Amino acid sequence: MKKLGKQTLQLDNKPSILNTAAIVGPKELNGPLAKYFDKCVEDEFWGEASWEKAESKFIKETVSTVLGKANVSSSDIDYVFAGDLLNQCISSSFGMRDTNIPFFGLFGACSTFVEGLCLGSVFIDSGACKNVLCATSSHFCSAEKQFRFPLELGNQRTPTSQWTVTGSGAVVLGKSDTGPYITHITPGKIVDLGIKDANNMGAAMAPAALSTLCAHLEDTGRSPDYYDAIITGDLGYLGKDILIDIAKTKGYDIASIYNDCGVLIFDKKKQDTHSGGSGCACIATVFSGYLYKMMKENNIKKLLLIATGALTNATTSQQGESIPGIAHAVAIEM
């Protein structure tokens, strides 16, 4: 492992992504990426008594699925890195409590999936252990209930609002002769440019995405076109446009190779999600379901994956605070 510049770690023993799994909900079932997911559940409760319990089931079943696909038992996983958006990250802790795997709970808002990949990669690369598991979840209904309004209120959503992805994505990292490999990690700094609109997370998070993108490119000496694709987590339509614009001010033209998981997961015309998808599961499911398969099929050979998070909550919004953003990046290469 070697520190490059201010933020990036170059991984010399390249952790391999042994396998991935993604399970999603009904909205995602009707989206353009449905065929890439391991399972699409038609009932947002998934037979549970509450949305919180349903979200826990998503992460539990996804973890079970990825262990099966990677052909490793839970006792072969040294450590798990997991988190979610619910207060006190209960989806992860309740979802993982029966696994009997040492557990690192994370909170990076919607950046948690790549935060886990960063930490897990360091554990694998350093030789500390053989296999780690990274997982996150989110759920439209539990997120609306907690962060905005009860769904029963039928509240009108603002044009800049995003639709929290219901689902979970999980990966197993380890050593293998086949890729894709995580080659670099660039953990992000907290960036707060003063956005206060809790229904415009894309605008709040785009500067953090830019900060981490610039740090990664400067630290590695790469230009954006080194990558076949640069993919952010959940900036949505608005945040995507903002990032393209503000990247230009730094001299980077990323428009041709850049996209956002929040843009990819739902159909803009047929599905009424306004500014696209969001949530911890947005990048987790799009990477684990779609992008990983694209890499395995060599349609994408070099991917820069940047997960963005808004480090805020309902209390801080009510107290007039702005919304700090953060973005963590990993370079993944075949």
Binding residues vs its own copies (CB under 8 A): 1, 3, 6-7, 9, 49-50, 52-53, 78-79, 83, 85-90, 93-94, 96-97, 99-109, 112, 115, 118-119, 122-123, 125-129, 187-190, 192, 311-316, 319, 321, 324, 326
* Cα 20 from Cα 27, distance rounded (Å): 21
Are 59 and 21 spatial neighbours (Cβ–Cβ below 8 Å)? no
Minimum distance between the CB of residue 268 and its own copies, rounded to whole angstroms?
A: 29
Q: State the burial class of residue 105 (Cβ atoms within 10 Å of its Cβ: 0-12, 13-18, 19+).
A: middle
Contacts of 61 (CB under 8 A, 6+ apart): 23, 39, 168
Token code pair at residue 294: 């694209």
**Which CB sits closer to its own copies, 95 or 262?**
95
Minimum distance between the CB of residue 175 and its own copies, rounded to whole angstroms?
A: 13
**Which CB sits closer to its own copies, 33 or 280?**
280
Strands 181-186 and 8-10 turn out to be: antiparallel
Are 232 and 208 spatial neighbours (Cβ–Cβ below 8 Å)? no
**Which CB sits closer to its own copies, 262 or 324?**
324
Minimum distance between the CB of residue 32 and its own copies, rounded to whole angstroms?
A: 30
**Which CB sits closer to its own copies, 53 or 222?**
53
SS3 284: helix
**Which CB sits closer to its own copies, 24 or 118?**
118
* Cα 30 from Cα 35, distance rounded (Å): 10
* Cα 95 from Cα 46, distance rounded (Å): 14
**Which CB sits closer to its own copies, 34 or 190?**
190
Minimum distance between the CB of residue 144 and its own copies, rounded to whole angstroms?
A: 14
* Cα 273 from Cα 278, distance rounded (Å): 10
**Which CB sits closer to its own copies, 233 or 289?**
233
Are 1 and 11 spatial neighbours (Cβ–Cβ below 8 Å)? yes
Minimum distance between the CB of residue 35 and its own copies, rounded to whole angstroms?
A: 33
Q: Cβ atoms within 10 A of the Cβ of 57, count?
A: 22
What are residue 23's DSSP bridge partners?
39, 168
Minimum distance between the CB of residue 33 and its own copies, rounded to whole angstroms?
A: 27
Minimum distance between the CB of residue 137 and its own copies, rounded to whole angstroms?
A: 14
Are 1 and 125 spatial neighbours (Cβ–Cβ below 8 Å)? yes
